[in-house]
Each structure stands twice: as C-alpha cells, then as structure tokens.
Structure 1
C-alpha cells in the first residue's frame, strides 16, 4: 500500500459505494428484464444506471467522496 498523497483512495467512500450498488442493481435488473423480453423495464434500468452516476456526483459534491468533509477522521 502506498502512502502517496496523490493516491485517490480507490473509491473507499460512501459516495463510491452507493454509486456502485445502484449501478449494480440497475445492470442486474436490466439483464433480467432483457432475458424476460420486457423492453420498457430494460430502458427504466438504463435510467436507473444514469441516476446512479448522478447520485454519486451529488454525494461527492456534498462531501461524502474520498477525502470529503463528511468522511475525514476527526481528532478528539
């Protein structure tokens, strides 16, 4: 493991985890709906996939990203 200051943290943040979970659910549902031949629900899962990116961006801007104000360890 590197102690390099430029290390982005590899996504260990609430914003990254939330984004990945939302996108994983969207891809899983999209695959299932594609298999079951439900095109409307496939497109809704695409919308959910894009929504996952938006949620991640908003959470990062709110301070829940890597090194954000809500995720830094506070000294007592």
Structure 2
C-alpha cells in the first residue's frame, strides 16, 4: 500500500482530523461521566465524515478510477493425468 496515494488528500486528512478530535472529546466526557458531552463528541465524529464527503464532492478527494476486471493468467496447459490400471 505504500505505493498508492490512498488517503493522501485534503478531504481525507480534514475528515479524519475532525473525527479524531470528536473521539477525543467523547473519550474525555466518558471518563467524566457526562453523557451530553459524549454525544456532543459523537456529533463531531459524524461531522468529520460529512465534511470529508463534501470536500471530496468539491474535488479535493482522490479522483475515481474506472474499475477494470482483474487480469487473469492463462490456464495451465498440461495434459490430464491418466489413471493406470
């Protein structure tokens, strides 16, 4: 995967950063036993996905590639095994 550019876009970095902040907020409020703060953090996590999706739609994400069928190697051409008997 090191040779691909998967996730190296402004849309991906921004969405993941916002979602990470949301997880941190939620985690802190779980420790403080504050359910409202936890859910506020979960809203931030969802907001990260929405922002990333909007940025991708604006052209800041990775361009879509057409899917091609996988390359198939030619079938082996050997003689079938004969049963001796």
- Normalised by the length of structure 2, the TM-score is 0.68
5+ residue gaps, structure 1, are 69-76
* Bigger radius of gyration among the two: 2
Shift >2 Å, 4+ stretches: none
Task: Name the CA distance, whole Å, in 2 between partners of 1:53 and 1:23.
Answer: 7
Q: CA RMSD in A?
A: 1.6
Q: Choose which of 37, 43, 49 in structure 1 pairs with 2:39.
A: 43
C-alpha separation in 1, matches of 2:49 and 2:60: 14
Alignment-derived partner of residue 53 in structure 2:
57
Q: Which protein has the bigger helix share?
A: 1
CA distance in 1, matches of 2:22, 2:41: 5
May I ask how many residue pairs the two structures share in their alignment?
63
